[in-house]
Amino acid sequence: MKISITKKTVIWSLFLYAAAATAYSLMTWGWMSEGNAGLFGDSFGAFNGIVSGLAFLGVLGALLLQIQALAQQQKQLELQQEEIRLQREDLELNRKELVRSAVAQEESQQALSQQVRHMAIASRITLCHELYPIFDNLRVASLSRNPQDMEGHARYTQLAKRCRTELEQIFEQTVVKGDNTPNQ
């Protein structure tokens, strides 16, 4: 709150100070007796009315200043409430964005997991596809080297059958049933 001191205010203050100083000096130096002091004070009756009116105007001025201050506080409160409302809206938008981000991350994680399963299936297919001919060639080679070695022949035959069975199971799971989860 800004208080302004004008030239008029200074002049009135000096006038009131001079009047009070004159009255005090007249009373203290004995120019006025105690009985005459009451008469002297009564001679300023109109001045007392003016001072009382000015005091009342001062009270009204203070009341107006308080009303203005209250209006400013009300405006500030409204601005703060608007700012809080905007912050709530912003927080709600952030929350919604975080939910969308979490859903997108979950979907990405699921897609990545499915890709890992597909890669595992593809690697099993590749491994079995490459090992089957090797085991079959080893079986034929073991028979041609030593036709009496039935144990080696059986072992390579069993490994080749196992690769073939694995390929058939993978095909059954992924193509026929639509299951992308590889058997371990």
Among 11-15, 19-23, 66-70, 134-138, which stretch is predicted with the lowest mean pLDDT? 134-138
Q: Terminus-to-terminus CA distance in the chain, angstroms?
A: 81
Tell me what the mean pLDDT of segment 86-102 comes to: 95
More confident of the two residues 86 and 52: 86
Q: Which residues lie closer than 8 Å to 173 by C-beta, 6 or more apart?
A: 179, 180, 181, 182, 183
In whole angstroms, what is the distance from residue 118 CA to residue 174 CA? 9
Tell me what the mean pLDDT of segment 155-176 comes to: 74
Cα–Cα distances in Å, from 51 out to 10, 48, 54, 141? 16, 5, 5, 132
Task: Using pLDDT thresholds of 50, 70 and 90, give the confidence band for residue 69.
Answer: very high
Residue 127, pLDDT score: 75
Q: What is the pLDDT of residues 38-64, one digit of tens each?
A: 666 666 677 777 878 888 888 888 899
Tell me what the mean pLDDT of segment 152-160 comes to: 72
> Which amino acid type is present at position 41?
G
More confident of the two residues 44 and 15: 15
More confident of the two residues 181 and 43: 43
> Does position 183 have pLDDT exceeding 60, yes or no?
no
> Does position 26 have pLDDT exceeding 80, yes or no?
no
Q: Per mean pLDDT, which of 52-66, 67-81, 126-140, 141-155 is the most reliable?
A: 67-81
pLDDT more than 90, % of the chain: 26
In whole angstroms, what is the distance from residue 135 CA to residue 150 CA? 15
More confident of the two residues 21 and 112: 112
> Does position 165 have pLDDT exceeding 70, yes or no?
yes
pTM here is 0.43
